[in-house]
Amino acid sequence: MASIKKRTEIENEFKWKLEDIYPEETSWENDYQQLKTLIEEVNKYQGTLGKSAGDLLQVLQLLEKIERIAEKLYVYAKMRRDEDNADSYYQTLFDRAESISIQLSSATSYIIPEITEIETNKIETFLQENQDLAVYKHFFDELLRQKEHILSQQEEKILAMSADLSIASQNVFTMFNNADIKFPVIKDETGNDIEITKGNYGRLMESSDRRVRKETFQGLYSSYTKFKNTLAATLGSSVKKNIFYTRVRKYPSALAASLDQDNISSEVYHNLIAIMHKNMDYMYRYMNLRRKMLGVDELHMYDIYTPLVKEFNMNVPYDKAKQMVVEGLKPLGEEYVSKLSAGMEAGWIDVYENEGKTSGAYSWGAYDTHPYVLMNYDNKLDDVFTLAHEMGHSMHTYYSNQVQPYIYSQYTIFLAEVASTVNESLLIDHLLKTSQNDQEKMYLINHYLEQFRGTVYRQTMFAEFEKIIHEKVEQGGALTPEELCSIYRDLNRQYYGPGVILDDEIDMEWARIPHFYSAFYVYKYATGFSAATAFKEQILNEGDSAVARYLEFLKAGSSDYPLSILKRAGVDLSTPEPVESALNYFGKLVTQLEEMAGL
């Protein structure tokens, strides 16, 4: 039976180098002790911020020093835990990092309210008196914009102290989903026993053997169904937490509260869903084409991931994946590609799945480290795109950290999904242009359509689910397992159309989506994909001038509002045009695949 390797069985060349953050853990401990001392020191400045420009600058610089240390501590401990969630030593280290981060948040909670209490004209005077404060102008402007939602110093301190409670539901789900839940053993295509894992689920669902797909699908969701009451309570608690903070900060809804962090109107969110509803025909056509190409009478939910071109099998070893990514991203210029290539060879990436490792993929890091990428590489074409995607995030982080001061280095999540998806879009374009035969080209078109379906249609469906469940609780409703399953089933019916059989198991999919514990995040995948499609067209059609604008976008961090940064780079997401254009491109590729398949 195929089993997952232990961490010690993975070769070092495929592991990230967290020792680049802390060469040994005594250094982590030293930073931890230093942070404890600095937290005590920052309390001494309470009540002094409005006295002079120098006093204000001193506190802001101390805050940066503290946050940079705390960030390193947290990132290191979290990524060590992610290597093996069952490792009790790193569970403890992460708990300590999380706990001191909460202490820090509590100790510094007076700073923002105290700054907002300083009169606007006094802030202007301070900026004129001390040039070193000039870097904080956008920061001050942003505080004034959100002033009505900032509470008193004492209230902010209480909220900061509640942070440990606020992340409880997410932590419970994370440990359940990554360390505790086990899935059944099934027979693979050759009759051998194989344990379903979150790491191999995608590959099994792409199997050409329908029995394998069905048993994988049923095995995964039956495991979650056994815990449906617990998982409904966990997600419900997360929603209630969001609504609590929404009401305390005087926002009209949890959605408005979330979007306000990026200075984005709720209309952008509503418009995305409305545009998608108007363009469901493209998805329905694609599902109908999928049924015909698979040669099945009925298209089930376990049929929607398997490649449509059976004769063409892309098994991509990791070394080849790196080469494909480098070739695909050459339109971004020599500087970008050389830095990306160096990163892939310098211990940025943790490549393969191991027992207890956090599932999925992400890019992360601290301001004072290079970026890192967690993957669970499984030799699928999808994993090649995941590599391109996460390195897009990492390069965004790299450029932002190189150019921006710490305070503006962390670009918003709204912008993050643009950089990652530009890489994916350029890669698929390259692969389509260099494909050697029709079978390969059809395979790649199918893959792009799947990427689009998963990133635009499916993430918008997730976004609509989040909107519905929050509104339900805001109106006094309850999120029982039956209610969650019913809402989720209705959305699947709307997004996939009458041509797809909604197997009962799909009703439980909400129970395994980690992003639902970071509410109103996933819509950014859809807007990001749309913006990325626009950037890709500009880069390929305009060349150097578009690349220059795009690199300036990567370097901008959070130095301005997200929509303004995008607009300056050439993409205006305040209009429906980028989303509609991306949907039309999806429709054109559906038509192209229909024609190539003769259907």
547-585 pLDDT per residue, tens = 999 999 999 999 999 999 999 999 998 888 899 989 999
530-544 pLDDT per residue, tens = 999 999 999 999 999
The answer as to CATH 1.20.140.70 being correct for domain 7-166 is: yes
504-529 pLDDT per residue, tens = 999 999 999 999 999 998 999 899 99
CA distances, 540 to each of 329, 422, 533, 552 (Å): 11, 11, 11, 17
Confidence check: pLDDT of 359 > 60: yes
Q: In this structure, are residues 569 and 552 in contact, taking their beta carbons and an 8 Å threshold?
A: yes
Query: Given this model, what pLDDT does residue 68 score?
Result: 98
DSSP 477: -
Establish how many alpha carbons lie within 13 A of residue 7's alpha carbon, considering only the half-sphere containing its beta carbon. 14
Query: Given this model, what pLDDT does residue 439 score?
Result: 86
Query: Given this model, what pLDDT does residue 509 score?
Result: 97
Please give the full DSSP string across 301-326, using - where no structure is assigned: GGGSSS-S-TT------HHHHHHHHH
Sign of CA dihedral 284, 285, 291, 294: negative
- Average pLDDT score over the chain: 94
Identify the residue whose tokens are 């099998």. 313
User: Could you give the CA distance from residue 519 to residue 259 in angstroms, rounded to a whole number?
Assistant: 10
Confidence check: pLDDT of 311 > 80: no
11-46 pLDDT per residue, tens = 999 999 999 999 999 999 999 999 999 999 998 999
Tokens for 513, please give them. 């989506």
Burial 60-72, CB ≥16 within 10 A → b, else e: bebbebbbbbbbb
Stretch (H or E) spanning 45: none
Query: Given this model, what pLDDT does residue 2 score?
Result: 62
Query: Given this model, what pLDDT does residue 309 score?
Result: 85
Q: In this structure, are residues 532 and 249 in contact, taking their beta carbons and an 8 Å threshold?
A: no
Residue percentage of the chain with pLDDT more than 90: 86
Q: Is residue 437 very low, low, confident or very high in pLDDT (cuts 50, 70, 90)?
A: confident
Higher-pLDDT residue of 344, 150: 344
389-415 pLDDT per residue, tens = 999 999 999 999 999 999 999 998 889
Query: Given this model, what pLDDT does residue 574 score?
Result: 85
145-182 pLDDT per residue, tens = 988 998 988 998 899 889 888 999 999 999 999 889 99
Query: Given this model, what pLDDT does residue 292 score?
Result: 96
Query: Given this model, what pLDDT does residue 307 score?
Result: 87
What is the domain partition of the chain in residue ranges?
7-166
Query: Given this model, what pLDDT does residue 179 score?
Result: 87
pTM score of the predicted model: 0.80
64-90 pLDDT per residue, tens = 999 999 999 999 999 999 999 999 999
For the residues 468-497, what does the mean pLDDT come to? Answer: 97
Identify whether 390 is a catalytic site residue: yes
Q: In this structure, are residues 143 and 150 in contact, taking their beta carbons and an 8 Å threshold?
A: yes
Query: Given this model, what pLDDT does residue 440 score?
Result: 85
Confidence check: pLDDT of 1 > 60: no
User: Could you give the CA distance from residue 558 to residue 415 in angstroms, rounded to a whole number?
Assistant: 9
Catalytic member of 71, 390, 464, 474: 390
